[in-house]
Amino acid sequence: MDEFDEIVSSCTPRETGAVDIYQNTVGLACPSCDKPFDDLIVSKEFTRLNLSRQMDICASVHEGNPVLFTHRK
């Protein structure tokens, strides 16, 4: 199991479909900035995200899919 799979398995799924959203309910650190993240967003298709709040975002790619780690302000 790689680091990404461990993160996903530790988070709580909130939405699935073209975009999968997982909530970080255990305080895991973001692999990009080492700060706790709020949500992990995995996009399986090119899509547009409608974010209702201002937040910082760390971006990565896993198996060719964009992955976002959100940090609410």
Task: Spell out the domain ranges in the chain.
Answer: 3-72
Total residue count of the chain as it appears in this document: 73
Q: So what's the pLDDT on residue 30?
A: 95
pLDDT band (50, 70, 90) for residue 35: very high
Euclidean distance between CA atoms 36 and 17, whole angstroms:
25
| E-strand stretches of the chain | 12-15, 19-23, 39-43, 55-62, 65-72
C-alpha angle with apex 56: 10 to 43, nearest 5 degrees? 55
Residue 30 CB burial class (10 angstroms; 0-12, 13-18, ≥19): buried
Over residues 27-49, the mean pLDDT reads: 88
